[in-house]
Every structure is written in C-alpha cells, then in structure tokens.
C-alpha cells in the first residue's frame, strides 16, 4: 500500500513514544526512519522500528536520557549518548560542531556510547545542509571476517560522505564496507532465495550462496583487502576515537535483551572554502566529465526524495500495532 512519508514519521514517533521514548528522542529517531523510507533505504527505515520498540521496552536502549555535549578542544565536539539513541545525541551536538568547523576550517564530532545510528548518511547530509563537507564513520556488531578468515571481527562499518551543493547535495554516498548489508542476507533467507557468490563465507571460510550458511558464517569485505582496510579505518575512528565499544563487544543489533549497543560514530566537518574559493569549480570539472558519459553519474546527484512510498501490508500492520 502507498503511505505518505509524513504518516510514516508520525506513526514511528507514536510507536516509539508508546514503548517508552521521550518526546525529543522519539521525534529525532522517527525523522531518521522517515528519511530512510523517503530515499528508498528500506533496511534503515520501518524495517528497524520493531527492534527500536522492543529494545526500548527491554531497556537495551535508554529512550529518555539526555546526551551530554562537551568541547574538549576548539575543533572537537563530543556527544555522550549515555546509551540512548544516536539521533538525538547528534542533533544536540551538531550546532557546536558546525560552529567549530566554521571557526577553525575543520572540526570533528564524536558520538559515544550510542544505539546503532542505522543510516549514517542521514547525519552527513545534515552537515552538508550547513554548507560543510561531512564525512562519517560508524561500527556495528561483528559480522565481517578478515580476508582468508572465517571468524567475525568487525561490523559492516559504513562510511558516508556528503558534499554541499546548490540546494541539494552535490555528492552523497553511504555504504557499508562489507560486500553487502547483513539485512540483505536475512531478507534473502526469509524469501527463500540464494545470495550471490562473494557476499559471504560459511563457518569454514568457504564462499557460499546459501543465506542460512552465510548467517552461520560471516560477511566478507567489499573489494577484498581494500574494503577490509576501510572497515578497519571505520572501526578505529568509531570505537577508538570516541571511547566506545569495538564491534567484537556488541551483541546482535536486533537482539532484544542484553547490554546496550554502546557504539560510536565519528564525523569530520570541513569548510570547503577554507584554503581557496575554487572548490566548487574543481568539483564541477569532475561532475561535467562524468555527466558527459551516458549512464555515468556522481553518487547521490540524482537522488529522488519520495513523499509516498510502497510499504508491505504486513509491515504497515505491524507499525500500526506498535503505535497503538
């Protein structure tokens, strides 16, 4: 059925409130859910709402805690989420981080001890909306094995980057450093479908097309050793720089009970005009060369933001039950 993005946000907020979230916290998370759906990112949208509600009820995420924002250095802002949601922690710290970047030319924003942030690009596009280049990193529960291995060490560990443009972002990408998001494996299993070779290995480290074997084994990095390096970079920045947990120390993100996620996100905010005024011209030079080739595009340059989306009937029925 067709559902408006506004209704998705309203019902998501109601569901979060009914399961123990505070007003500000519910509004911030619901906004992220709706934005994901508007961009067709179904894995980070309503697909996650039941988990949020379940973990609010179990206490795995604190839905009412207020984040604590500090500025340990002129160009560094820290938001301690206090084992609450990442979205309100980021929102509380963003104004100071933007001010720091405008003052210093570059700044960093560390979000510590947070619930999974889900869509990392949701945050970098807010940085770009302030006229700054935003780069973000986060980690997750361990699902990726090192090249040649079979044991899970790091998460899907996404990286996102948004470049400000005239109104809409000039460039935007948000991708996991694993070959695929874990949600695509679980969705394939639920649908009784096989997965492509190169997504995962079984528990013995052998490539597999069986989603059930993949879930017992591990995902692999995108691009082999190259993606593995990017995944480790995200791990060290998200966990090491923020003082949050390593992927190894996080139980499954959707497991109802257990310790809070305690994950970190690390953002770099850069003023594109810090060193010279030609950033836009340099980007345009590349964008024009890409646009001249049929079928080629700059990532995110032609994103369609929907006001209505198709939602499976069973999923929408669940949302209505959660929000009742």
Got the DSSP string for 128-193? HHTTSEEEEEE--SS-BPPTT--S--B----EEEEE--SSS-SEEEEE-SBSS-HHHHHHHHHHT-
Helix axes 313-323, 49-58, angle to 10 degrees: 30
| Structure letter (DSSP) for residue 61 | S
Six-digit token pair at 146?
A: 């090192």
Q: Among residues 282, 274, 279, which one has the least CA distance to residue 107?
A: 274
* SS3 (DSSP) at 261: coil
Tokens of 242: 């923020």
* Tokens linked to 178: 């694993």
- Spell out the per-residue pLDDT of the chain, length 324, in tens: 899 999 999 999 999 999 999 999 999 999 999 999 999 999 899 999 999 999 999 999 999 999 999 999 999 999 999 999 999 999 999 999 999 999 999 999 999 999 999 999 999 999 999 999 999 999 999 999 999 999 999 999 999 999 999 989 999 999 999 999 888 898 899 999 999 999 999 999 999 999 999 999 999 999 999 999 999 999 999 999 999 999 999 999 999 999 999 999 999 999 999 999 999 999 999 999 999 999 999 999 889 999 999 999 999 999 999 999
Count the residues in the chain. Answer: 324
3-state secondary structure of 112: strand
In eight-state DSSP terms, residue 248 is: G
Among 78, 9, 59, CA closest to 37: 9
Q: What Å distances lie between residue 25 and 56, 63, 280, CA to CA?
A: 11, 6, 36
Give, in degrees to the nearest 5, the angle at Cα 139 between 168 and 196.
85
Contacts of 316 by beta carbon, 8 Å cutoff, 6+ apart = 1, 3, 46
HSE toward the beta carbon, residue 41, CA cutoff 13 A: 23
Query: How many other C-beta atoms can be found within 10 angstroms of the C-beta atom of residue 193?
Result: 10
Note the pTM of the prediction, 2 decimals.
0.95
Helices (H), 47-120: 49-58, 86-104
Tally of CB atoms within 10 A around 165: 17
293: buried, middle or exposed (CB in 10 Å: 19+, 13-18, 0-12)?
exposed
């Amino acid at each position: 059925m067709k559902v408006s993005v506004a209704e998705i946000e309203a019902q998501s907020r109601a569901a979060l409130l009914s399961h123990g979230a505070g007003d500000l916290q519910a509004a911030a998370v619901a906004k992220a859910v709706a934005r994901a759906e508007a961009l067709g990112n179904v894995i980070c949208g309503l697909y996650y709402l039941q988990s949020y509600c379940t973990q609010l009820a179990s206490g795995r995420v604190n839905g009412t805690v207020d984040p604590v924002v500090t500025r340990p250095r002129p160009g560094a802002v820290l938001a301690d989420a206090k084992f609450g949601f990442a979205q309100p922690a980021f929102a509380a710290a963003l104004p100071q981080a933007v001010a720091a970047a405008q003052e210093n030319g570059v700044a960093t924003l560390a979000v510590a001890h947070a619930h999974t942030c889900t869509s990392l690009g949701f945050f970098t596009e807010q940085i770009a909306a302030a006229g700054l280049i935003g780069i973000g990193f986060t980690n997750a529960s361990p699902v990726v094995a090192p090249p040649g291995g079979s044991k899970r060490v790091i998460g899907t560990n996404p990286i996102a980057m948004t470049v400000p443009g005239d109104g809409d972002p000039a460039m935007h990408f948000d991708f996991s450093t694993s070959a695929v998001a874990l949600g695509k494996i679980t969705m394939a299993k639920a649908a009784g479908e096989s997965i492509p070779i190169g997504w995962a290995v079984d528990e013995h480290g052998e490539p597999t097309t069986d989603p059930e074997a993949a879930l017992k084994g591990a995902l692999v990095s995108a691009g082999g050793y190259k993606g593995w390096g990017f995944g480790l970079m995200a791990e060290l920045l998200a966990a090491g720089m923020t003082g949050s947990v390593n992927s190894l120390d996080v139980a499954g993100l959707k497991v109802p009970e257990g310790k809070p996620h305690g994950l970190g996100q690390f953002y770099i905010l850069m003023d594109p005009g810090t060193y010279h005024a030609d950033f836009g011209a340099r980007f345009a030079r590349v964008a024009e060369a890409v646009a001249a080739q049929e079928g080629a595009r700059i990532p995110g340059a032609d994103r369609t933001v929907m006001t209505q989306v198709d939602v499976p009937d069973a999923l929408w029925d669940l949302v209505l039950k959660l929000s009742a």
